[in-house]
Structure 1
Amino acid sequence: MRRVPPYRRARGEPEIALINIVFLLLVFFLVAGSLAAPLDRELSLVRTESLDGRALPDALIVRPDGATLHRGEATTPEAYLEALAGRDGAPRVARIVPDRDLPAERLIEVARALQAAGAAEVHLVTERVPR
């Protein structure tokens, strides 16, 4: 008499689940990366070595010729501060992203204009240099 082997259930391939997870992570990072507003392409950041990094949610960009930009459009320090004040009643913290070749005198002018317009704090955003 012939024996019939017991029915074996086919196992799913575990690689499929791993591929699905990797694909979902790829899509997530593509979407998250495209949501951030890009900086001006002609901007080269000032380098520092040992400062704590801060997020760049909404900054005033100062180009080498002294022109100021906010979200890609030309603006003044006063108009930039008004745009920050429109969101909520919190103290206005201004963030300046200067070009590396910007003269220091122009950077000081912009910072003083922000303070005169009512900025509670003025932060300078730079590039961290790896050691």
Structure 2
Amino acid sequence: MRKFAKSKPQREPTIALINIVFLMLVFFMVAGTLSQPLDPALRLVETRDLEGRAPPDTLVIHSDGRMAYRGDDQQNATAFVEALSEEERAVVRLVPDRALPAKTLVSLTRELRTAGAQKVMLVTERGLQ
């Protein structure tokens, strides 16, 4: 009597296929989360609709360059900073009107820093969702 040798069943290469699919999934996840260029039509600064009032402790800059702090008009940046305590000078928050020219905003920021503000932050509506 003759014994038949048991043949090993052919294994399917499913593990290799699963690994390839997993690597492709990881690749597309990483490629999809890389920083994409901003849409040219995107408008980031939007401050006109701030619920009718500015956040507390912010210097509001109107489109014509007028400044207001806690509802009181401010004459100039130097006088504004001098009236602040040392703690308040650490961070000065600005809420610029969207129509305010950038040149005016940069100039005002320089004046605030020169007058003694340690850090000047712009408060805007969130532009990217």
Unaligned runs of 5+ in 1: 1-44, 49-55
Q: Give the C-alpha shift of residue 109 in structure 1.
A: 1.1
Q: Show CA shifts across 1:12-49 (max 9, x none).
A: xxxxxxxxxxxxxxxxxxxxxxxxxxxxxxxxx9339x
Map of 1:67 onto structure 2: 66
Alignment of 1:114 onto 2:116: no
Is 1:68–1:74's contact at 8 Å kept on the other side of the alignment? yes
CA distance in 2, matches of 1:74, 1:116: 20
Alignment of 1:57 onto 2:21: no
One-letter code aligned to 2:111: A
Is 1:46–1:98's contact at 8 Å kept on the other side of the alignment? no
C-alpha RMSD over aligned residues: 2.5
Q: Give the C-alpha shift of residue 101 in structure 1.
A: 0.5
One-letter code aligned to 1:59: T
Is 2:81–2:89's contact at 8 Å kept on the other side of the alignment? no
Structure 1 residues 1-131: aligned runs within 5 Å:
46-47=45-46, 56-75=55-74, 76-85=76-85, 88-89=86-87, 92-129=90-127, 131=129
Secondary structure, counterpart of 2:57 in structure 1: coil
Q: Give the C-alpha shift of residue 114 in structure 1.
A: 0.2
Change (3 A) 1:129 1:90: closer
Q: Alignment length, in residue pairs?
A: 78
Q: Percent identity?
A: 45
Unaligned runs of 5+ in 2: 1-43, 48-54
Is 2:58–2:69's contact at 8 Å kept on the other side of the alignment? yes
CA distance in 2, matches of 1:118, 1:105: 20
Q: Give the C-alpha shift of residue 89 in structure 1.
A: 5.0
Query: Which aligned runs of 4 or more in structure 1 are off by greater than 2 angstroms?
Result: 45-48, 88-92
